[in-house]
Chains A and B, each alone.
Chain A
Amino acid sequence: MSPSVVVLDYGSGNLRSAERAIARAGAEVTVTADWDAALAADGLVVPGVGAFAACMAGLRAVRGDQIIGRRLAGGRPVLGICVGMQILFGKGVEHGVTTDGCDEWPGTVERLEAPVVPHMGWSTVAAPSGSALFGGLDAGTRFYFVHSYAVRRWELTPDPAGRIEPPLVTWAEHGDRFVAAVENGPLCATQFHPEKSGDAGAAVLRNWLATLS
């Protein structure tokens, strides 16, 4: 049976592409902000474009931060995309204003430093071994990015006792390196847009759907 996926609708951008791309990858997709539906789905996708502060405000307005927290507490899969990934971090800094994020991971979303910003286009990523999201994809595979902000330092301290599996962090470069994807148990996220990354993005979405139980 196809897994059920809710794309969280909190007033952010082009949801049609995400809906269609995830459906094409093999899921039953619903676009909604309904609390019960978002908790019940096999997978929750948190999209996001535009400003960090506006996305956080929109997310809180539908209690999306609580939906994400509840799902993760129960080990239920969540996939953040673009700003939907950024808001999972501790805070975002835009135009000198700091906004609190969902704080699932420590870290700061800050402006990219590169000759040309936004980073707009197709870039390669460096995925760690054991990555499920990038399984079966060549190292030279490119994904579509469009963003001016990113997490440039991974700040989560490993569990000293080694009992907690450390997250798998995938990096990309624009100016300097930044976090392109994270796989952390039920919580996954990509800075790029898998729904806009053609066949490569479809493979990532299929890989994520395969992890849904």
Chain B
Amino acid sequence: MSVAVRVIPCLDVDAGRVVKGVKFQNLRDAGDPVELARRYDAEGADELTFLDITASSGDRATTYDVVRRTAEQVFIPLTVGGGVRTVEDVDRLLRAGADKVSINTAAIARPEFLREAAHRFGSQCVVLSVDARRADVPPTASPTAPAGAIPGSGFEVTTHGGRKGTGIDAVEWARRGQELGVGEILLNSMDADGTRDGFDLELLGLVREAVTVPVVASGGAGAAAHFAPAVAAGADAVLAAGVFHFGDLTIGEVKAALGAAGHPVR
């Protein structure tokens, strides 16, 4: 029996509070990440992701506190990302109770960061988060890419929520991340993000062919029927935020749809 497709809700956390309003009934405090984490755990989430969007470094202590309190009450894996810049940041999050840490912009500036983190803490807890979008012109391979790299895939790595291009080929970057030791790719389609039109299946397929580590599909989920095609395109896990938070879909409905399509679920 093969490993179950993981269904992962993602919470955006700013200074210790969940943003992008969550509309669950019967919550004492809809802005409390710990209470929401417990709620998703009870609903059958296979893993949780916190994306820390705290702008002020002075407020980041609250993030560690949120991670700590969540890990004390929720006994499923927890991934934390956002603003992770140094090996010390990774260490602090793991010590607070995160099981995996996702790294994005800091790795673009210095890819060796991925190798250092994977070497020190193990590949299993280092996730490379890639914000990819279709490029107007195929990007050139990154300067760090080895000879024989995959040629321009048509997808580019972006920063600043998709607003800034980097010229780095997103598929090549995922492959390079694996080479540097990351244990998972969190693949965010900046084109699909927020559209609710479904995941970017072409992007998923290209990255699936390029890496052998697990790939988490993110961006575009809008209906229960969107998840099975993402798995068929190569996703090992599916992540969504808004559709879960706003109550449009439950974890159970997504799992039922995946199961009906023949994919194993927990």
Residues of B within 8 A of A29 (CB): none
B46–A13 contact, CB under 8 A?
A: no
A196–B124 contact, CB under 8 A?
A: no
Residues of B within 8 A of A (CB): 1-6, 41, 46, 68, 71-73, 75-77, 94-99, 121-125, 183-184, 212-214, 236-237, 266
B68–A117 contact, CB under 8 A?
A: no
A118–B99 contact, CB under 8 A?
A: no
Query: Interface digits, A132-170 against B, CB 8 Å rule (1 contact, 0 not)?
Result: 000000000010111110000000000000000000000
Residues of A within 8 A of B213 (CB): 116-118
Complex: how many Å from CA A21 to CA B71? 9
B121–A116 contact, CB under 8 A?
A: no
A77 CB, nearest partner CB in chain B, Å? 22
Interface size class of A (residues with CB under 8 A): 35 or more
Kindly list the 6 A-B residue pairs having the minimum CB-CB distance in the complex, ordered from nearest: A50-B122, A121-B3, A16-B97, A122-B4, A122-B266, A142-B266
Complex: how many Å from CA A3 to CA B74? 23
Residues of B within 8 A of A117 (CB): 212-213
List the count of A-B residue pairs having beta carbons below 8 Å apart. 105
Residues of B within 8 A of A20 (CB): 71-73, 75
Complex: how many Å from CA A142 to CA B124? 19
- Which of A54, A120, A122, A198 meets B214, CB within 8 Å? A120
B123–A115 contact, CB under 8 A?
A: no
B3–A174 contact, CB under 8 A?
A: yes
A147–B124 contact, CB under 8 A?
A: yes
A49–B97 contact, CB under 8 A?
A: no
- Provide the main secondary structure of the chain B interface: loop
> Beyond the given A14-B94, A117-B212, A121-B237, could you list 20 further A-B residue pairs with CB under 8 A, ordered by the A residue number?
A13-B122, A14-B95, A14-B97, A16-B68, A17-B99, A24-B75, A49-B122, A50-B124, A118-B183, A118-B213, A118-B214, A119-B3, A120-B214, A121-B6, A121-B236, A123-B1, A142-B266, A148-B123, A196-B77, A196-B99
- Provide the main secondary structure of the chain A interface: mixed
* A99 proximal to B (CB < 8 A): no
B2 CB, nearest partner CB in chain A, Å? 7
* A30 proximal to B (CB < 8 A): no
* A51 proximal to B (CB < 8 A): yes
B212–A115 contact, CB under 8 A?
A: yes
Complex: how many Å from CA A142 to CA B123? 23
- Which of A13, A119, A195 meets B75, CB within 8 Å? A195
B3–A51 contact, CB under 8 A?
A: no
* A173 proximal to B (CB < 8 A): yes
Residues of A within 8 A of B237 (CB): 121
B212–A116 contact, CB under 8 A?
A: yes
Complex: how many Å from CA A195 to CA B2? 21
B179 CB, nearest partner CB in chain A, Å? 13
A17–B3 contact, CB under 8 A?
A: no
* A201 proximal to B (CB < 8 A): yes
Residues of A within 8 A of B6 (CB): 120-122
